Amino acid sequence: MRKALTIIITMLAILPFQTFADETKNYEITINGKTYDVSLGREYQAQLDSGKTLTFKIDKKAIMIYRDDFISFRHKNDLTISAKNIGSGIRQTMTNTAVGTLILFQEYSSMNPSSLVNLMLQELTKEQVSYGYKIQKNATSKTLKDGTTLKGKKAVLTYGNEEEHWTILAYGKRDRGLLVITKIDKDNMVAEKDILDLMWNSLNISI
């Protein structure tokens, strides 16, 4: 499990900031067997066999849905969701913003990860604590709309005027389960708390 934790920390360190603009013509659309390279939000025209001109534009929905075999949740369209199998029956799905607000899921297909909450919290905050942040930890839980309850820990790390809020919650059965990790800074609560709220209000777990 420490190997998995090391991978998490490494991925958090190298995860690129959110891209705010689509590169030119990163998408394709096929109309009557002909493929066009397109960008989001721009109008294009295609000549149909009938001679008529078709004008079209492709946009993302304002709110999108991520879904896999374990989870589904809603998120804003300016967030990029990345997912990767990191070995030992663990799949990691995550997103973050340019200012560091984080949502991270770890799906375990061969064990119940509930016992990992304290170790995960320790690993994710040890650098700040070593630097001099004060940490306050408390038990917490979250009940989803369908009645599913996740249990774990929340932590507030403070250093001068800086304040980080972490939650690590687990839901598991005998041989499978899920960890949900979130992080948001106090300074970003007003601007980005709705990102976390949208996820929690729409999260569905299929285990």
Tens digits of pLDDT across the chain (207 residues): 544 454 454 445 444 443 444 456 888 998 888 898 999 889 999 888 888 998 999 998 999 999 999 999 999 999 999 999 998 899 999 999 999 999 999 999 999 999 999 999 999 999 999 999 999 999 999 999 999 999 999 999 999 999 999 999 999 998 999 999 999 999 999 999 999 999 999 999 998
Q: What is the pLDDT of residue 1?
A: 53
Q: Which pLDDT belongs to residue 17?
A: 41
Compute φ and ψ for 25, nearest 5 degrees. Answer: 50, 55
| Predicted local distance difference test score (pLDDT) of residue 102 | 97
How far apart are alpha carbons 43 and 39 in whole angstroms? 9
Say what the pLDDT of residue 109 is.
95
Give this prediction's pTM: 0.83
Q: Which neighbouring-strand residues pair with 200?
A: none
Rounded Cα gap, residues 142 and 198, in angstroms: 14
Domain 61-205 has what CATH class? alpha beta
Measured N-to-C along each axis, helices 117-131 and 2-14 cross at an angle, to the nearest 10 degrees, of: 50
> CB-based contacts of 195: which residues, under 8 Å, 6+ apart?
75, 76, 79, 97, 101, 103
Type of residue numbered 124 = L
How many other C-beta atoms can be found within 10 angstroms of the C-beta atom of residue 28? 10
**pLDDT at 48 (0 to 100):** 83
